[in-house]
Structure 1
Amino acid sequence: MRIWDINPGYLNRQSLLGEHRELHAIVSVITNNKKGYSNHPETLRWKGHGRALTLRHDLLVAEMSLRGFRHKSPLPPPPETGEWPVKYIDEPYRQFSLLENKYKHKEQGRISLPRNARQLWHQHRYSVLARNPDIYEAISSAVSRMKKNENFSDLANELTEILRQQPSSRGIRNALQHMQRHMSDFSLPDGRASESLSLKTLLMNIQQRTMADNASYLTASTALSELDVWI
C-alpha cells in the first residue's frame, strides 16, 4: 500500500487510480478497526490524521478530474482533528526516484519527474505564490543560485510542506492571474476581466485551455489541479 506525499500530478494513470483505491482501503481499515493491513506502515502513519487523509483524497480527485476521470466514491466526513503526518516513509526527493524507476518504459505522469531544482521549482511556483508571495520570492532567489546538478532534497521537502498549507482566496486569484498571463491569446467569457469571475470559473477556464492546447509550461504546474481543492 502506498500513499504518496508528492503532488498527484507526477503520478501516471495507473498510479493515480491505484493510490485512490488504496487510500479508501486505509480509511476503511482505520474507521472500521479492520485487522487487514492494520499494522502496515502506511496505515499506521495515517492513524489520527483523518482530516489530512481526506485532503490527500481531494487532491487525488482534483487530478483525476483534470485528466477526465469521473469520481463516484466520496469519503465519509473526516474528524475535525488530525494534522499531516510528521514523518515520511520515503522523503519526497526519494519518491521522485522511486517513480523514475517505476516508470521506466511506461506511461509518465502529467508532470515530468524533476531532474533539477529549477525544474522542480517551476512546477510548484504558482502553488507557492498562492500561499505566500514573500516565500515565493525567497525560494525563487535561492533556486537561481543553485548549481544545475545540486541536490534538491531539501527543496522537495520544503515545497511538499508548503503545499499542505491552505491558500487564501486572494492568494489563489493572484496565482491564477499570473498563470493566465502565460496564455498570450487567453480570453474570458464575454470579454470580462478575471476579477469579475469566481475562482472556480477562472480556474476551469485555465484548465480547459491548458489541457486542450497542451500548453507545456502550465501543463506541468501543480497548481493546475491542486488549487481546485481550496476553492
Structure 2
Amino acid sequence: MRIWDQVDFSKLCKSHLTGMHREMLSMAKCFVYGTGYQNHPEMVRFRNNISAFIKTHVYLVKEANKRGYNFKNLPAYIYTIQDFNFNMPNPWDDQLNKLKSKNCNCQI
C-alpha cells in the first residue's frame, strides 16, 4: 500500500495510478469503519489528516480523468469524519527513489 503524495500524479504509470486509487478506496472504508490494517504505516500517516487524504484523492481522480479513466470520487461516508487538518502528513522516506527503482513506465 503506497500513497505517492510527493510525486506529480501526471508522472505515474497506469499501474501505479490505478493501484493508488484502489488502495485509497480501501483506506477510506477502513477509516470510517475502523476495520482493516489500522496499524499500516499509510493508515497511521493519514489517520489524523483525513482532509489531506481526501484532497490527495481529488487530485488523483483529476489526473485519471485527464487520461480517460472514469475514476469516481471517494464514497460519501468518508465525509462523515470531522477533520479540518489540511496539512499533508509527513511523507515516508524517499518516495521518488522508491518509485524509480520499480520496473514500470512511470516518468520519474
Kept in 1, the 8 Å contact 2:49–2:88? The answer is yes
Structure 2 gap segments, 5+ residues each: none
Q: 5+ unaligned residues in a row in structure 1: which ranges?
A: 114-231
Aligned equivalents of 2:50 and 2:30: distance in 1? 12
- For 1:16-165, what aligned pairs fall within 5 Å after superposition? 16-34=17-35, 36-76=36-76, 77=79, 79-90=82-93, 94-103=94-103, 106-108=104-106, 112-113=107-108
Q: TM-score, normalising length from structure 1? A: 0.42
Kindly tell me: are residues 80 and 47 of structure 1, through their superposed partners in 2, closer, same or farther at Cα, counting changes over 3 Å? closer
What CA RMSD, in Å, does the superposition of the two structures yield over aligned residues?
1.7
1:98 is paired with a residue of what secondary structure? Answer: helix
User: Does the aligned pair in 2 maintain the 1:8–1:16 contact within 8 Å?
Assistant: yes
**Residues 82 and 63 of structure 1: is their aligned pair in 2 closer, same or farther, counting only changes over 3 Å?**
same
1:64 and 1:86 mapped to 2: Cα distance? 23
CA contact (8 A) 2:52 2:87 kept: yes
Cα distance in 2 between the residues matched to 1:72 and 1:62: 10
Which of the pair has more CA radius of gyration?
A: 1
Between the two structures, name the one with larger relative contact order (CA 8 Å, sep ≥ 6): 2
8 Å CA contact 2:64–2:70 kept in 1: the answer is yes
TM-score normalised per structure 2: 0.84
1:156-175 matches, cutoff 5 A: none
Give me the whole-angstrom Cα distance separating, in 1, the residues matched to 2:90 and 2:83: 21
The separation in 2 between residues aligned to 1:49 and 1:8, in whole angstroms, is 20
User: Matches of 1:49 and 1:69 in 2, distance apart?
Assistant: 27
Q: Sequence identity of aligned pairs in percent? A: 29
Q: Deviations over 1:111-159 (max 9, x none)?
A: x31xxxxxxxxxxxxxxxxxxxxxxxxxxxxxxxxxxxxxxxxxxxxxx
